[in-house]
Structure 1
């Protein structure tokens, strides 16, 4: 058992595949605002977040980025597009999928906006508990 654990601990992930501030967005696994809130948390911790998606999830990533930008929380730093080769799940045939990566950074007033949003939530919660 120890050898297996050691082997797993020694797996070498490529520099790209294990970024602490990357969110790989799925088309259908989580609701949109799960990703929006997660991106806010990552920006608080790392000052920037990288949103990544394949195929149908690309529209979701663009929507998340636009929500964050339009609310004054994020600025666009870099957008990368590519085509990646993958195996089709059902038949195992190679297929090409579109890929996008959007790097967002915090705006200058990110922290102020986050504090204001937290205070607003507390005020609303207080009203419901009264």
Structure 2
């Protein structure tokens, strides 16, 4: 009888810790609205082992490059670089976005819309991916961002 009670109590405590470990940055409450620093790119060919590469585009002496999703549906892709006077300058591609469930559609500067699948969205991290075919092979590229 005591072993059964101990097992039930242990199980209840374990479930309590498990439920408590699911933080507020998990699940549907997270919002895409905000500024997101480029962090890394993950590439996978035909479902093989993914290759992860840290983002190398940040200009030394400038803030990090980022994407910004605004509440009104506007979108900005910002790359910072030092101009000839060594002043950090923004190069911006503007556009619009729409998010429905885990589908993200981005249209920059009136170009054709691009559709991505959001694979992770928390208060601190955004991941979205797209798959294309090249030479009969499926290439999946996932961009990983960290919240500013």
Q: Same fold, TM exceeding 0.5? A: no
TM-score by length of 2: 0.21
The two structures have a TM-score, normalised by structure 1, of 0.23
* Structure number having the greater helix percentage: 1
The structure number with the bigger radius of gyration is: 2
